[in-house]
Chains A and B, each alone.
Chain A
């Protein structure tokens, strides 16, 4: 059983729409949650992290965390073609510096 689950996609949204990316995790002891964006052939780039229940907003991005339901999501408002990439959800199980456990990623395609 995978510890971090994501729909592989592709998720296709028109330009200007809201893209909603979801991630579920299995360990209730998980502490911190991260969203990375990865363009093809490039390194994962951190978009946001969240560790408290609720929403966290940064520009066009909003991370949502629901620990009771064990899911974390990323909303991208006003999607742009440049947002087309693979979005990786990662979970850290302690409150200190430690390894990340990744999902397989969701490929997002923003169409014109």
Chain B
């Protein structure tokens, strides 16, 4: 079974440009999460989809970030326009909740975004 995949693995863009990150969760996983790790800081939550619905987007930093999950399968995270502070590693995770304590989130390899 394939794990969580993310594309691209690296992206270098200039301030003001637009970047779109993609995440393909494990097949059958209803829950999809986006996280971000800024250098030197902890991994921080951005948002959570259940199927195609946004369950929790409390971690989204501002309206320059737009996440979608049309059809409840893959998800995209668009940053427009990108700012220097958006640089970091963006992780996607997916899970299938089976009951208390068994929501194991499997992480993808991440997309390293550098904004110059």
Contacts and interface: CB of A to CB of B under 8 A. Distances in A.
A102 B106 contact: no
B14 interface: no
- Chain B interface size band reads 20 to 34
A44 B107 contact: yes
- Chain A interface size band reads 20 to 34
A17 B101 CA distance: 30
Is chain A's interface secondary structure helix, strand, loop, or mixed overall? loop
B25 to A, nearest CB: 13
B50 interface: yes
A100 B91 contact: no
A4 B44 CA distance: 11
B97 A97 contact: yes
Nearest to B44: A102
Contacts of A107: none
A71 to B, nearest CB: 17
A43 B42 contact: no
A99 B42 contact: no
Contacts of B97: 96-97
Contact of A4 (B42, B59, B108): B42
B59 A49 contact: no
A85 B76 CA distance: 29
Given A102-B42, A102-B43, A103-B42, A32 B105 contact: no
Given A36-B107, A43-B108, 20 more contacts: A31-B100, A32-B100, A34-B105, A43-B91, A46-B104, A46-B105, A46-B106, A95-B100, A96-B97, A97-B31, A97-B50, A97-B95, A98-B56, A99-B33, A99-B59, A100-B35, A100-B43, A100-B105, A104-B41, A105-B42
Interface of A: 2, 4, 31-32, 34, 36, 42-46, 49, 51, 88, 92, 95-105
